[in-house]
């Protein structure tokens, strides 16, 4: 039986077929913008691009794309229409209690992971999931020091609320270009050594909106992503992978995700570029392209309803 069904979601998260972000998260975001003197620049209708190619782009992304990214993560993990219950159950299982190590790849300003943590707290506050002590050691990896700095500041402001709901967060930031697998291998080694030192064998890897780098950019990161998947594939580790993307409209992203899934699950396969996309040869069934799920969410900063498109893929190493 599922932990709960979409119809049980509180009105603070889902009301009149519209997603609502937790008030604590949106309040922290607004205060962050006000403290920086950036509130007057809020105008998400004009936003776009990659979140950290420069300090200005990291600023633009945290101002105008943070809430949209957070809404996508909340939608797929709360699953109000019970369309992919297995994703919700995987997330709730991994973030139930105890100690877990979370690898946040291409983390940017942390919108996806902060939304995930906020969702868990809101569900706990309404008694939909147990309120057990949960320690989460997060390693945020991104090539933008500015975006990671925003991540740390937002988490610092959000942490008191998380703590009241039993979540204790330890955030370690790594300025690292995933295009350079040698640099990432050092980050990964440090992450795993720290977990081993704590005798922790439970892991969650989160990837959100990597498709903004386009096919060529994602291709350059795949060596690093495969390093992470191979390391987390160890049978002694309980590892899950959560990958959330906006609608891309291309099949190449599914193939890229599938080579990570197959690596995590220790399945032999051949991955290669083919024309404008990728292809895979393997003896097992492959992931199918998913139609995007469309939903509306309320932007609390301007009171407008916004529409977003998303798809999610989740898998484990067993």
pLDDT at residue 250 in the model: 85
The correct answer on CATH 1.10.10 for the domain covering 6-10+21-316 is no
> What length does the chain have?
318
pLDDT tens, position by position, 259-303: 999 999 999 999 999 999 999 999 999 999 888 899 999 999 999
**Mean pLDDT throughout 89-108?**
97
pLDDT at residue 47 in the model: 52
Q: At 255, is the pLDDT very low, low, confident or very high (cuts 50, 70, 90)?
A: very high
- State what percent of residues in the chain have pLDDT above 70: 98
pLDDT at residue 290 in the model: 86
**Mean pLDDT throughout 53-57?**
91
What is the reported pTM? 0.97
> Of 298, 307, 263, whose CA–CA distance to 282 is shortest?
263
**Mean pLDDT throughout 166-177?**
98
> Of 232, 122, 116, whose CA–CA distance to 169 is shortest?
116
- State what percent of residues in the chain have pLDDT above 90: 93
Judge residue 268's burial from the number of C-beta atoms within 10 Å of its C-beta, 0-12 exposed, 13-18 middle, 19 or more buried.
exposed
> Of 17, 286, 30, 37, whose CA–CA distance to 158 is shortest?
30
* Confidence check: pLDDT of 81 > 60: yes
Instruction: Please answer whether residues 115 and 30 qualify as being in contact, where contact means their C-beta atoms are separated by less than 8 angstroms.
Output: no
pLDDT at residue 48 in the model: 54
Phi, psi angle pair for 120, to nearest 5°: -55, -45
Q: At 53, is the pLDDT very low, low, confident or very high (cuts 50, 70, 90)?
A: confident
pLDDT tens, position by position, 178-220: 999 999 999 999 999 999 999 999 999 999 999 999 999 999 9
Phi, psi angle pair for 293, to nearest 5°: -100, 130
User: What region, left, alpha or beta, does residue 61 occupy, with left being phi > 0 and alpha being psi -120 to 50 degrees?
Assistant: alpha
Instruction: Please answer whether residues 307 and 295 qualify as being in contact, where contact means their C-beta atoms are separated by less than 8 angstroms.
Output: yes
The residue extents of the domains of the chain are 6-10+21-316
pLDDT at residue 299 in the model: 98
Hey, which bits of 234-274 come out as E strands? Answer: 238-245, 269-274
pLDDT at residue 12 in the model: 98
**Tokens (6 digits) for 278:** 């990728």
pLDDT at residue 46 in the model: 61
Helix or strand run (H / E) with residue 18: strand 18-19
Phi, psi angle pair for 46, to nearest 5°: -100, 5
Instruction: Please answer whether residues 82 and 5 qualify as being in contact, where contact means their C-beta atoms are separated by less than 8 angstroms.
Output: yes
pLDDT tens, position by position, 22-52: 999 999 999 999 999 999 999 997 655 566 6
Residue 18, number of CB atoms within 10 A of its CB: 13
What does the mean pLDDT of the chain come to?
A: 96
* Confidence check: pLDDT of 105 > 90: yes
CA dist 157 and 144 (Å) reads 21
pLDDT at residue 248 in the model: 81
Residue 303, number of CB atoms within 10 A of its CB: 7
Helix or strand run (H / E) with residue 232: helix 214-232
């Amino acid at each position: 039986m599922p932990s709960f069904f979409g119809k049980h979601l509180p009105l603070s998260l889902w009301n009149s077929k519209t997603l609502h972000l937790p008030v604590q998260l949106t309040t922290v975001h607004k205060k962050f913008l006000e403290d920086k003197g950036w509130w007057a620049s809020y105008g998400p209708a004009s936003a776009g691009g990659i979140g950290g190619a420069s300090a200005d782009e990291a600023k633009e992304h945290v101002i105008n794309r943070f809430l949209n990214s957070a809404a996508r993560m909340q939608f797929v993990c709360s699953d109000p229409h019970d369309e992919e219950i297995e994703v919700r159950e995987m997330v709730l299982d991994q973030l139930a209690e105890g100690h877990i190590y979370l690898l946040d790849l291409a983390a940017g300003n942390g919108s996806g992971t902060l939304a995930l943590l906020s969702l868990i707290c809101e569900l706990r506050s309404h008694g939909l999931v147990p309120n057990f002590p949960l320690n989460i050691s997060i390693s945020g990896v991104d090539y933008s020091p500015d975006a990671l700095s925003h991540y740390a500041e937002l988490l610092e402001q959000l942490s008191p609320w998380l703590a009241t709901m039993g979540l204790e967060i330890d955030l370690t930031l790594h300025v690292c270009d995933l295009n350079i697998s040698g640099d990432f291998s050092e980050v990964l080694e440090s992450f795993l050594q720290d977990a081993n030192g704590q005798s922790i064998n439970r892991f969650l890897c989160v990837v959100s909106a990597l498709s903004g780098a386009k096919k060529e950019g994602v291709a350059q990161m795949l060596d690093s992503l495969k390093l992470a998947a191979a390391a987390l594939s160890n049978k002694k580790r309980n590892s899950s992978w959560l990958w959330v993307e906006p609608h891309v409209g291309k099949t190449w992203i599914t193939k890229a995700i599938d080579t990570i899934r197959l690596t995590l699950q220790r399945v032999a396969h051949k991955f290669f570029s083919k024309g404008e996309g990728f292809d895979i040869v393997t003896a097992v069934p492959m992931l199918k392209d998913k139609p995007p799920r469309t939903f509306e969410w309320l932007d609390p900063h301007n009171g407008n309803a916004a529409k977003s498109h998303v798809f999610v893929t989740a898998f484990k190493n067993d």
